[in-house]
Amino acid sequence: MSESLLSFSEVLLFGRELSDLKLKQRSVRLAEELATEAELNNTFLKIDGVVVREDDRVLVQVGASANAHSGIYKVVKSGREFKFEKRKKVSHDSFVYIRRGRQFKNTYWQQTANSHKDQLFIEQDDRRRGRGVNNFIGDQLGGDARLARIYGFAYDGTYYEMPEPTIFLVHGHGESATGGNLPYGFKLDKAGEDTTQQTARAPMNPSVSGVAAADYQIASDIRVWNYDQADYTLRMDIAAGQIEEVLLDVYFEYDAPMVSGAKVSGAKVSGAKVSGAKVSGAKVSGAKVSGAKVSGAKARGE
């Protein structure tokens, strides 16, 4: 990726996808409405104006009522064309997001039949629950949204290590921040020259690392997600410990109430939104920070 005028606003998140905490939704590439069950046996090259690929997942609604044929199908080869195979069912009230298509691109479908055998998918024109005209957070939950534990981020040419790992909403599997963890000499061209992009120990691609030079190492299997600083997301700070520490101390100020570095006074969380609260000793790799000012770091009553 080449440098652009907007590169200064990019934020690169470094972390790993969570395997034990998933968003309850599905995402498929295409959607198709069929009038009758017999049309499931037809072969095709396109669906909703898009050329299909082998192993595509397609949401198929047959007719206008719940039945034992609607569901998510896999696209498989049938001579020079393709056909549907292996129907999968979706649980009641679950949403399915459509990524491509002329008519159904970026639409949500809800499985409304209260039956696991018979399925009925209805396109949802509007999932907004508030009175405003925007749906900034709701729109982020569609498609390939997932949760990842983020260990650090790069912004404005500097890599910052977070005081403690935090869960963020991300999209897709991200890119390997370590060049696929390839060892030296793994890729050789015809002349015997090493073409391995060994970024795991010295990330030299600014589009991946977000920095021009680095004196740190990135651990294996770390992924990186690229966002604009104005993008909307979700952040979840996880606290683990005794009930007394993570609950009673927060509301009743037993002993020294400290939660994730933010001091809470009485049963009221001052400001409700604690952003970067009291970051003490935050490690900034590759940049010397002396007397750095942290906005909102001091909580009321401290």
Is the pLDDT at 70 greater than 80, yes or no?
A: yes
At 213-245, the pLDDT tens digits run: 667 777 778 899 999 898 888 899 888 889 988
Give the helix ranges, DSSP H, for the chain: 136-140, 206-209, 243, 249-252
Render 134-154 in DSSP notation, one character per residue: --HHHHHTSTTEEEEEEEEEE
Residue 270 contacts residue 299 (beta carbons within 8 Å): yes
Q: Is the C-alpha dihedral spanning 297, 234, 138, 8 positive or negative? A: positive
Q: How confident is the model at residue 172 (pLDDT cuts 50, 70, 90)?
A: confident
- pTM to 2 decimal places: 0.57
247 or 167: which carries more pLDDT confidence?
167
C-alpha 231/C-alpha 237 separation (Å) is 19
Taking the alpha carbons of 89, 95, 101, 103 in that order, is the dihedral positive or negative?
Answer: positive
**Residue 13 DSSP one-character state:** E
